[in-house]
């Protein structure tokens, strides 16, 4: 079963570059794995209109889905601690970069 963190945004989602820079400032280097269901290069940037990303760091992967004025970060319920940190860091980075708020928390 997956666990979600939902980020409510006042407008459209921030660019991936803004989010990645915020993660890097926190010492978290991430790699892209998939963009909208297609395999991606680790340093590839998604197009502005992306809908779903798979992002990895520390051996774990998080799914990020974007819809109108929100981003949902999903991780498996049995995720290890580094993967949960990635999950929470991604949600916070999207909220910070987009002027939004993380609305739902983990377990």
Cα angle for residues 89, 93, 97 (degrees, 5° grid) = 175
Q: Which tokens go with 6?
A: 């939902």
**What angle do the packed helices 81-98 and 16-25 form, to 10 degrees?**
120
Which tens digits make up the pLDDT trace of 33-82?
999 999 999 999 999 999 999 999 988 999 999 988 999 999 998 899 99
What is the topology classification, in CATH, of domain 2-102? Answer: TATA-Binding Protein (3.30.310)
Torsion of CA 27, 4, 70, 86, to 10 degrees: 10
Residue 105 has pLDDT above 60, yes or no: no
Which has the closest alpha carbon to 25: 101, 94, 93, 98? 93
Per domain, the residue ranges of the chain are 2-102
Residue 107 has pLDDT above 90, yes or no: no
């Amino acid at each position: 079963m997956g666990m979600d963190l939902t980020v409510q945004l006042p407008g459209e989602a921030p660019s991936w570059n803004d989010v990645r820079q915020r993660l890097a400032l926190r010492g978290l280097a991430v790699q892209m794995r998939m963009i909208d269901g297609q395999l991606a290069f680790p340093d590839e940037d998604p197009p502005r209109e992306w809908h779903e990303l798979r992002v990895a760091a520390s051996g774990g992967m998080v799914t990020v889905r974007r819809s109108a004025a929100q981003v949902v970060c999903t991780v498996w319920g049995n995720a290890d601690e580094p993967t949960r940190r990635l999950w929470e860091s991604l949600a916070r980075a999207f909220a910070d970069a987009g002027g939004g708020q993380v609305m739902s928390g983990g377990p």
